[in-house]
Amino acid sequence: MNAPADAVLVVAAGDGVRLQLRVKPGGRSDRLVGPHDGALKLEVRAAPERGRANDAVIRLLAVVLDVGRSNVEVTGGAASRDKVVLLRGISAVEVARRLEAAGIAAEVRG
């Protein structure tokens, strides 16, 4: 599956919606940066130690996508800048709509 370079790939999965992330920990602010080879690039202030950056990623996505924190789970790459998150309780189309409302181009697959 080729990922678009200029859009975030939003993948519908049986158990929810999957997003690939590229995370910059220790940044100046908690914010979405934009698409990065099909992934959503974001920046968090938290340092990459003891799960703090992952917690910040979950909080940021929960706020931007307007879902509960318990509906956002890091399922891959917990100790890496490249992560996979699973979003529950929201459709892929709605995730794409909310990303686009935040100024991030998105493409739905699956």
Indicate whether 51 belongs to any domain.
yes
Instruction: Give the pLDDT confidence score for residue 15 in this predicted structure.
Output: 86
Give the range of the structural domain holding residue 35, as residue numbers without chain letter: 8-109
73-85 pLDDT, tens digit each: 999 999 999 999 9
Indicate whether 1 belongs to any domain.
no
Q: How many domains does the chain have?
A: 1
Indicate whether 55 belongs to any domain.
yes
pTM over 0.85: yes
Least confident of 13-17, 68-72, 79-83: 13-17
Alpha-carbon Rg for the chain, nearest whole angstrom, is: 12
Choose among 79, 38, 44: nearest CA to 58. 44
Q: What is the DSSP letter of 99?
A: H
Indicate whether 95 belongs to any domain.
yes
**pLDDT above 60 for 93:** yes
DSSP reduced 3-state for 98: helix
- List the CATH number of the domain containing 74: 3.30.1200.10
Q: What does the pLDDT average to over 26-33?
A: 96
